[in-house]
């Protein structure tokens, strides 16, 4: 099939590339010439495992093209995917200007039937706005060409986006145009092993589903983070509690890890946006408001632990920081807890030596104004002469580190672990002073 994807960020680029992989002819459009140049020169503007290889293969096969030419792009695909950003406005609601600009472009230039598909995460009701934007442009030029609007939210995890797209749990398609739904079924048939995985519903329910999924996951995390705070006080171990409840199939093991708080481009933004949509509709989402507040508090938990150990004034102290990205396997620094933690430590006078396997260039870019923060080339360099190690992101390479080196490099062997990577009992055996999130001093397994 012929497909246009508007926006070459995480969502757009992964969508376009994976659809090309299945033999479709895909044209990706972006207004950002820099991004298109990188792609045309054989690179990709983001870090995503497996994506570069797939882009290269499909470009070579002539199935994947990149352009900044709006007219060419609109003419190319019967299916027009919108995968542009929806950043939060100051009041927390999603900013739809890029989505609606994309829709208007389709309306301005289309000459035959198009399906306009929203992949961006958009508030309930955006489908109607997209339809109105396309219709208005058609009316301006007296055109009666037909089109349909579909909502097809993505459920991609950064770091596993290619795998998630190629082997989806479910595909949600919202729409009421029969032809468009049949085209969507045909498009996704190679991705679906079990036909129940394609869920057709109305546009509003599809839009809502995306927010509901992310809000539920964020709720699980904040709930566990709160229980972790209490675990520490009463002498229980949240890791054991996690296993104890996860084994109930109604609860399940996923997304129950207490940590330094959730971040990224989706959870914080989507939770805020759903709370906002609710209040605009006269409903107060009390649980979700608390989820957000609990997460803000959680980003300070590691700082509280440092202060509890070293005092409020950190002047003259140096800390090793392992991990900057909001989670492993990405260089994404959006809403990363590390930004809050680093800001708070530096504000109290600390010097920091930070290392991340992938996110350092991005971290340097977003924290260029932070003083007393040095980026170093490896785990070992970060440790040199520091007062303690603070682990913020659960990269695999941090899970089984050289404990002897940690001991010999730090001024005193203190490890403050924001992702519960290490066994407290092992640390105590090794003579390392250790504090995790919600771990008891005396672990029971």
- The residue within the footprint of ligand UDX, chosen from 21, 30, 137, 154 (CB under 6 A), is 154
Closest CB 293 distance from ligand UDX, rounded Å:
16
Does position 155 interact with ligand UDX (CB under 6 A)? The reply is yes
Nearer to ligand UDX, 66 or 211 (CB): 211
> In this structure, are residues 417 and 438 in contact, taking their beta carbons and an 8 Å threshold?
no
Cα 289 from chain centroid?
20
Q: Using CB under 6 A, which of the segments 38-46, 141-149, 153-161, 353-361 binds ligand UDX?
A: 153-161
Which CB sits closer to ligand UDX, 103 or 156? 156
Q: Would you put residue 219 in left (φ > 0), alpha (ψ -120 to 50) or beta? A: alpha
Bridge-based pairing state of the strands 351-355 and 414-417: unpaired
157 touches ligand UDX by CB under 6 A: yes
Residues 180-209, interacting with ligand UDX (CB under 6 A): none
Does residue 322 bind ligand UDX (CB under 6 A)?
no
Q: Interface mask (CB under 6 A) for ligand UDX, residues 12-41, using x and -? A: ------------------------------
Find all residues with CB under 8 Å of 110, minimum gap 6, and list them: 74, 75, 134, 138, 143, 145, 147
Annotated ligand binding at 72? The verdict is no
Q: How far is the CB of 109 from ligand UDX (least distance, A)?
A: 30
**Nearest distance from residue 225's CB to ligand UDX, in Å?**
7
| 266 counts as catalytic | yes
Nearest to 56 by CA among 73, 42, 75: 42
Distance in Å, CB of 66 to ligand UDX, minimum: 23
Of the candidate residues 262, 322, 395, 422, the single one contacting ligand UDX (CB under 6 A) = 262
CB of 230 to ligand UDX, least distance (A): 17
- Interface with ligand UDX, residue 300, by CB under 6 A: no
E strand or H helix at 390, and its extent?
A: strand 388-391
Q: How many CB atoms lie within 10 A of CB 132?
A: 14
Q: CA–CA separation, 116 vs 288, rounded Å?
A: 31
Mask of contacts with ligand UDX, 217-236, x by CB under 6 A? x---x---------------
Distance CA(20)–CA(39), nearest Å, equals 15
Residue 301 within binding range of ligand UDX, rule CB under 6 A = no
Q: Is 326 in the site for ligand UDX (CB under 6 A)?
A: yes
Considering only 168-176, 201-209, 263-271, 348-356, which stretch makes contact with ligand UDX by CB under 6 A?
Answer: 263-271
**Beta partners for 4?**
27, 80
SS3 readout for 103-164:
HHHHHHHCCCCEEEEECCCCCCCHHHHHHHHHHHHHHHCCCCCCEEEEECCCCCCCCCHHHH
For position 211 contacting ligand UDX by CB under 6 A, the verdict is: no
Burial zone of 88 (CB within 10 Å; 0-12 exposed, 13-18 middle, 19+ buried): middle
What stretch of H or E contains 416? strand 414-417
Of 96-104, 106-114, 257-265, 357-365, the window that binds ligand UDX (rule: CB under 6 A) is 257-265
Residue 313 counted as an annotated binding residue: no
For residue 185, the tally of other CB atoms under 10 A from its CB is 15
Query: CA of 147: how far to CAs of 106, 112, 373, in Å?
Result: 10, 8, 53
- Nearest approach, Cβ of residue 319 and ligand UDX (Å): 20
Using alpha carbons, select from 240, 291, 252 the residue that is nearest to residue 268. Answer: 291
- Stretch in the footprint of ligand UDX (CB under 6 A) among 134-142, 258-266, 354-362, 408-416: 258-266
The yes or no reply on residue 81 touching ligand UDX (CB under 6 A) is no
Is 125 part of any known ligand binding site? Answer: no
Task: Tell me how long the chain is.
Answer: 445
Catalytic residue among 266, 314, 340, 354: 266
Q: Which residues bind ligand UDX (CB under 6 A)?
A: 154-158, 214, 217, 221, 255-257, 259, 262-264, 266-267, 326-327
Q: Which residues are annotated as a binding site?
A: 30, 35, 86, 121, 155-158, 210, 255-259, 263, 269, 327, 334
Residue ranges at the known binding site for NAD(+):
30, 35, 86, 121, 158, 269, 334
Q: What are the catalytic residues?
A: 266
């Amino acid at each position: 099939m012929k497909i246009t994807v508007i926006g070459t960020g995480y969502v757009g680029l992964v969508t376009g590339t994976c659809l090309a992989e299945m033999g479709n002819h895909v044209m990706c459009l972006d207004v950002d010439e820099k991004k298109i140049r990188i792609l045309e020169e054989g690179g990709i503007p983001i870090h995503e495992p497996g994506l570069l290889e797939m882009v290269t293969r499909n470009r070579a096969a002539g199935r994947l093209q990149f352009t900044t030419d709006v007219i060419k792009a609109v003419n190319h695909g019967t299916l027009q995917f919108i995968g542009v950003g929806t950043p939060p406005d100051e009041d927390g609601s999603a900013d739809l200007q890029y989505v609606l600009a994309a829709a208007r472009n389709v309306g301005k230039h289309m000459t035959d039937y198009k399906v306009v598909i929203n992949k961006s995460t958009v508030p309930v009701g955006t489908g109607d706005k997209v339809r109105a934007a396309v219709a208005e442009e058609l009316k301006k030029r007296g055109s009666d060409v037909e089109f349909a609007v579909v909502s097809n939210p993505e459920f991609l995890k950064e770091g596993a986006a290619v795998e998630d797209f190629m082997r989806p749990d479910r595909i949600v398609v919202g729409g009421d145009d029969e032809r468009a739904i049949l085209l969507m079924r045909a498009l996704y048939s190679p991705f679906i092993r079990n036909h129940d995985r394609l869920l057709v519903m109305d546009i509003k329910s599809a839009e809502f589903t995306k927010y509901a999924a992310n809000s539920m996951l964020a709720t699980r995390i904040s709930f566990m983070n709160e229980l972790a705070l209490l675990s520490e006080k009463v002498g229980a171990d949240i890791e054991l509690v996690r296993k104890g409840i996860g084994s109930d199939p109604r609860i399940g093991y996923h997304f129950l890890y207490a940590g330094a708080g959730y971040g990224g481009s989706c959870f914080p933004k989507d939770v805020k946006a759903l709370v906002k949509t609710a209040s605009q509709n006269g409903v107060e989402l009390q649980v979700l408001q608390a989820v957000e507040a609990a997460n803000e508090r959680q980003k300070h938990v590691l700082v509280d632990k440092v202060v509890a150990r070293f005092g409020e004034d950190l002047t003259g102290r140096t800390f090793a920081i392992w991990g900057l990205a909001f989670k492993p396997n990405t260089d994404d620094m959006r809403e990363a807890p590390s930004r809050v933690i680093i800001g708070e430590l530096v504000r109290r006078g600390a010097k920091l030596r930070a290392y991340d396997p992938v996110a350092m260039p991005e971290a340097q870019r977003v924290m260029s104004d932070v003083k007393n923060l040095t980026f170093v080339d490896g785990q070992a360099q970060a440790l040199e002469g520091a007062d303690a190690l603070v682990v913020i992101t659960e990269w695999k390479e941090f899970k089984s580190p050289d404990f002897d080196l940690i001991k010999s490099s730090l001024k005193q062997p203190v490890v403050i672990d924001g992702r519960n990577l290490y066994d407290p009992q092992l640390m105590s055996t090794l003579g390392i002073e250790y504090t995790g999130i919600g771990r008891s001093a005396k672990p029971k397994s």
